[in-house]
Amino acid sequence: MRFFAFSKNGWKKYFLLPVLSMLSAGTSVSGASADWNEKTIRDNLQLVAEWQAKHPKKRSPLHWTYGAFYSGLVQYGLSVPEGPGLPLLRKAGEEQGWKTLNRHYHADDHAVGHAWMEMAMEDGNPAAAEKIRAVLDKVMNRPSSASLQFLTPGCQDRWSWSDALFMSPPVFVKLAAYTGDRRYLEFMDREYKLTCDYLFDREEGLFFRDSRYFTVPAANGKKMFWSRGNGWVIAGLPLILQDMPADWPSRPFYEDLLKRLAAALKKCQSPDGSWHASLLDPDEPPLKEMSGTLFIMYGMLWGVNQGYLDADEYLPSICKAWKAACDAVSKEGALGWVQPIADKPGHYSGKDTEVYGAGAYLMAGSELRKYVIDRDHPQKKTVTVTNPLGRFRPAETVSVPWPSGGSGDAAGLRVFDVRHGRVIPHQLADTDGDGTTDTLLFQSNFRPGTVRDFWILENSCLGEAPSADVCFSRPVPERLDDFAWENDLTAHRIYGPAVARPAPEGEGLVSSGTDVWSKRAGTPVINEFYKRGDYHRDHGRGLDMYNVGPGRGCGGIAVFRDGKPHVSGNWASARTLYNGPVQTAFEVVYAPWDIGGGVRVAETRRVTLDAGNRFSKVRSVLNVRGAETVKAGVGMDTGKRRNDYEAVMEDRESGGLMTAWSRPRKDDGCLGTAVIVPWVPEGRAVDAEGCTYLLRKVANGEPFEWYMGAVWDKASPIRSAAGWEAEARRVRECIGHPLQVRVR
């Protein structure tokens, strides 16, 4: 009878192979069904995530093992936002200050950056990215030149072991996506290819764990390839490819590596559905090993879902792997048969659990859930969205024509974000006001140069996305005919007929300028402010500290004749077109006003404000009588008389842009305002009220667009005039390069 021997911590143990085989089969009752059913998979994910969160290891939450767990937790959390994943991550990140451990060059200590960067982009939280960015900037700007030969001085300052290709490269790619700085991609490319050239065995199509194993064979005399070591590599490739620009020159290298590695690993799968610790010697030991199995399954299934790998060829292997994994989950949610921390095949049992094993389960299960949802909706439509810019675009709205023959049934309609694996809020809107739904609206974040798919699912049984009508507008007759609108970040109002009346019926205020309300993010304020009445003081949710007067405020228009501005009175009529979780739209009409020379002008203005945006889009149409064209100006307050600006910037080179930033106002902070015009101004003007205008010629009935926005430094990561100018320039660039949308 043959014996198996291995060495660990300087001592040896010997086991009879038949005994090990019985151990691998296991006798405990599984708590995770292997059925390919969306709800079953979602329940399994929650079971494993919650068990692992309740049974922490006695090590730093920033340790690489937790980094791998967070990688799975963030994928689960993004796919099931109502589950425990995202709250657990936010809690961990905030408690640890979004930092890393202190070995700044060591790839293991970068692993938490996977989740930190995802949360920075998901939550719009730059603090989650700051510290990992500082660490990787140091690595990139002062790169190590140490040898990749393992155990030589400084070798672990480079990616000299296969695990490192999971731990660090995806974080560089995510930083490139977040910042738009291609240097992160260039550094990652160079270092990754050097490691691949060094550790990849082209004959077997597998990775050595590190250079020590070039000459150390497995017990059966074959080359020693560790399953988890190869699992790290194939699981890291999706994390790289999903955020790498579609046109990145070396992208085919990573796609080809995924295919080659998957093909080689498929040959190594054991009959029990798992990948044993030693890929070419499955009797070393003859035990199923779940961390390697699940990382490999994740990489393969992602390849199938993305069309890189043939489904007919790989799904049988994936099905067996998932069955083996679910059999290893206890009824309480503990994933067993996970080899402890190691660098080669070694001993473990059904009672061994590890946080990275749970992370691998969450990654594989989240990817499987996407496959099942795809399978269950054969009639779905796919919306492919391309970001043509080399910058990150948060909270961008996608507009898709909704055919007149569409069901319009919001109860059964779902929009599914394929990357994140989740149903997202959507809105059906009548954008042309004819009484018929014509547009489907939804939002997402878009990374530089990436191509994203969204599925339109009708009559779906998937749960609705949690949502609220955060985009809201309404007339306010109880406050002298104001009209107010807001989203989760900003709020505004304009003035109606009643306030123009002399006191005591009104206030004698004649103004078509726009007011700004400073509000805390995520807090609806319109109804509360008007109910309270006292909104010029901050009671915890924000305040009105902006002064409009008869000027343009945060944005408005004037019509110029002989160099003089002529402005309308207060709005004559106003109506909300729709509210919702993605966008609010309303229309206001300004009655005709004289501009001299027998010419009269009226304005119809349509305004939209999207969730997660600080800028309202305005479409103005002038009805001109007495002339074929007029010179119109889009303006905002830039003087110091009303709002005491510390800095004012104007740029007319790439479409007009003006920003202003106020001085601090006691305890109420600073306010920034801006106007953007997506056309090249023909000139500029300044009026006696301290407003600056960007000018253009407009014909009767010709629509023209402009944008107005505001920010409050006490409720935003934008804390300076320079920061506000940068944000306004970013928005202008996005306006000039819209998302490319294709429906099939």
Give me 720's structure tokens: 């300076």
Instruction: Check the CA dihedral 319-323-328-330 and report its sign.
Output: positive
Question: DSSP letters along 442-509, please?
Answer: EEEEE-TT-EEEEEEESS--SPPPP----BEEEEEGGGTTEEEEE-SS-EEEE--HHHHSPTTTS---
Measure the CA–CA gap between 420 and 423, rounded to whole angstroms: 9
Q: Are 234 and 295 in contact (CB under 8 A)?
A: yes
Residue type, 624: V
Q: Which residue has the tokens 């590190």?
A: 210
- Strands 556-561 and 564-566 turn out to be antiparallel
Decide: helix, strand or coil at residue 297.
helix
Measure the CA–CA gap between 270 and 48, rounded to whole angstroms: 24
The catalytic site residues sit at 163
Question: DSSP letters along 699-739, please?
Answer: ETT-EEEEEEEEEEGGGSS--SHHHHHHHHHHHHHHHHSPP
Measured CA to CA in angstroms, residue 163 lies from 66, 158, 254, 351, 661 at distances of 14, 12, 16, 24, 48
Strand partners, 393: 446
Buried b (16+ CB within 10 A) or exposed e, 231-240: bbbbbbbbbb
Measure the CA–CA gap between 512 and 550, rounded to whole angstroms: 7
127-141 vs 113-123: helix axis angle to the nearest 10? 130
Q: How many CA atoms lie within 13 A of 740 on its CB side?
A: 9
How many angstroms from the chain centroid is the CA of residue 402? 25
**Helix (H) or strand (E) segment spanning residue 417:** strand 414-417
Give me 45's structure tokens: 């994910």
Give me 575's structure tokens: 């109506």
Residue type, 44: N
Measure the CA–CA gap between 558 and 564, rounded to whole angstroms: 9
Instruction: Check the CA dihedral 633-637-641-647 and report its sign.
Output: negative
Is the bond preceding residue 285 a cis peptide, omega within 30 degrees?
Answer: yes
Give me 270's structure tokens: 């054991």
Q: Are 620 and 704 in contact (CB under 8 A)?
A: yes
Q: Which residue has the tokens 């402010």?
A: 529
Give burial (CB, 10 Å; 0-12/13-18/19+) of 601.
Answer: buried
Strand partners, 593: 601
**What is the CA angle 208-351-275, rounded to 5?**
30
Question: DSSP letters along 251-265, please?
Answer: HHHHHHHHHHHHHHH
Residue type, 733: E
- Strands 275-276 and 288-289 turn out to be antiparallel
Residue type, 263: A
